[in-house]
């Protein structure tokens, strides 16, 4: 059965828990904490000397007030997002499954929770992800195809590299880095882009690696007339031997 992305309302409690995590999350590849403070500017008032309990209390207060004031936006966007995505769901699922030469992921429903979020976390184990409100059509499609790609990608990745542990599918490990960089060459390939109709980007920081040579090299690898399995393996070896070994990621 073809997996289907279904947008649902995120509860206030779920929204609060994500912001509690995001407030403290900051890595070189993704400024989650920075975007969180920009989205909920009242959190900038928290003093550096504040305890974790005090920070959590402030987050609960700020997000709760925001949620009650703008809750209707979530309901409206759930309906709009489902309408937009339904038109390409099956075509995209079939295309990405064929591109990666891998079967469908083992779920009938991929839940996408809609909340007030500056960043859009995903759960590889639950096969779910979260999105913010008021995305335009192109931004929504780019977000969904990006997240769904990760679910199919790691199904294929596990087949090719069964000894790499699950924990390395997350930041900051190389398997995670690779999964984020290949968003560019895969989603911008002709066979996928013809279906989704939008240009997709990896994180900005990845375009700066080796003055752009890392992205350029992976694009070339994924344009080669070789099996997808060879592309994935060749790209992984390139990152491991030429880039990651020198601690440039």
Nearest to 182 by CA among 208, 196, 200: 200
- Band of the pLDDT at 210, cuts 50, 70, 90? confident
Range from 38-42, 205-209, 218-222 carrying the lowest mean pLDDT: 205-209
Number of Cβ within a 10 Å radius of residue 215 = 19
- Give the per-residue pLDDT at 30: 59
* 28 pLDDT above the threshold of 60: no
Confidence (pTM)? 0.92
DSSP 153: H
- Give the per-residue pLDDT at 45: 93
Range from 29-33, 140-144, 188-192 carrying the lowest mean pLDDT: 29-33
- Give the per-residue pLDDT at 148: 98
Q: Could you report how far apart the first and last alpha carbons of the chain are, in Å? A: 38
- Give alpha helix (H) positions in the chain: 12-24, 32-39, 52-86, 89-100, 137-160, 174-181, 183-187, 190-196, 213-223, 228-238
Query: What does pLDDT average to over the chain?
Result: 94
| CA–CA gap between residue 63 and residue 43 (Å, rounded) | 10
pLDDT digits (tens, 9 = 90+) for 75-97: 999 999 999 999 999 999 999 99
Distance from the Cα of residue 13 to its chain's centroid:
21
- Give the per-residue pLDDT at 216: 96
pLDDT digits (tens, 9 = 90+) for 141-171: 999 999 999 999 999 999 999 999 999 999 8
Write down the domain spans for the chain: 4-246
């Amino acid at each position: 059965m073809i997996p289907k992305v279904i947008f649902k309302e995120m509860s206030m409690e779920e929204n609060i828990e994500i912001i509690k995590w995001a407030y403290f999350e900051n890595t070189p590849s993704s400024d989650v904490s920075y975007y969180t403070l920009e989205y909920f500017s009242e959190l900038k008032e928290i003093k550096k000397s504040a305890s974790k309990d005090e920070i959590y209390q402030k987050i609960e207060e700020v997000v709760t007030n925001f949620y009650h004031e703008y809750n209707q936006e979530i309901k409206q966007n759930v309906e709009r997002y489902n309408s937009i995505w339904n038109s390409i769901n099956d075509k995209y699922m079939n295309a990405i499954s064929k591109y990666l030469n891998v079967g469908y992921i083992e779920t009938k429903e991929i839940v996408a929770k809609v909340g007030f979020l500056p960043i859009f976390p995903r759960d590889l184990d639950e096969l779910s992800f979260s999105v913010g409100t008021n995305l335009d059509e192109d931004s929504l499609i780019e977000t969904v195809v990006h997240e769904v790609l990760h679910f199919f990608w790691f199904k294929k990745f596990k087949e090719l590299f069964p000894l790499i542990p699950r924990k390395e599918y997350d930041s900051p490990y190389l398997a995670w880095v690779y999964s984020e960089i290949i968003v560019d060459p895969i989603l911008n390939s002709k066979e996928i882009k013809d279906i989704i109709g939008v240009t997709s980007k990896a994180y900005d920081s990845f375009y700066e690696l080796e003055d752009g040579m890392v992205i350029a090299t992976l694009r070339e690898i994924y344009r080669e007339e070789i099996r997808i399995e060879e592309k994935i393996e060749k790209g992984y070896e390139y990152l491991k031997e030429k880039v990651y070994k020198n601690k440039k990621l």
